[in-house]
Amino acid sequence: MNLEKVVFAFFVLLALTLNFGFVMGEMDNVHHHNVYELYSALFVSLIATVLKFGDRTHIGAVLLATSLVADLQLIAAATVWGYAEHVSDLGMTPERMADVVALSGGALVANIASVVILIIETVLVRR
């Protein structure tokens, strides 16, 4: 068993599950979404991105691209949340929360694509 591959797959799957956990719930209900889960999803996603830099294959490039998309979406979501909470006079409104969840949903799609590619690569290597 290759420990490097285990760690890589662990962080890819953890990024997906944290992102999924954050997105679950009513889209505009602030009480259904935890800020710490959003920042955890971002942190783990960034770790997964760093781990993808070593792969020089075509599939590795696609995996890196999906990870960068997820990172950008989560950074945008965290920025919207931070702006709403600390800069805006209105605070976190249902509209801003819907924006945060929508951006996180985009990251979720990128993370799903990353996991699907990882599974396909694993199946191809076995043959």
Q: What is the pLDDT of residue 23?
A: 95
% of the chain with per-residue pLDDT over 90: 77
Each residue's pLDDT tens digit, 44-100: 999 999 998 877 888 889 999 999 999 999 999 999 999 999 999 998 999 999 999
Mean pLDDT of 7-30: 93
Helix (H, G, I), strand (E, B) or coil at 27: coil
CB 32, CB 39: distance < 8 Å: no
Give 127's pLDDT tier (boundaries 50, 70, 90): low
Residue that the structure tokens 């770790």 belong to: 47
Structure tokens, 117: 């590619």
Q: Please say whether the beta carbons of 71 and 53 come within 8 A.
A: no
Give the pLDDT of residue 2: 85
The pLDDT score that the predictor gives to residue 126 is 66
At a CB cut-off of 8 Å and minimum separation 6, what does 122 contact?
none
Q: What is the pLDDT of residue 53?
A: 87
Instruction: Say yes or no to pLDDT of 9 above 70.
Output: yes
Return the structure tokens found at 109: 């799609």
Q: Phi then psi for 119, rounded to 5 degrees?
A: -65, -45
Residue 32 DSSP symbol: G
Nearest to 38 by CA among 101, 94, 89, 96: 101
* Packing angle, helices 3-23 and 35-52, rounded to 10: 150
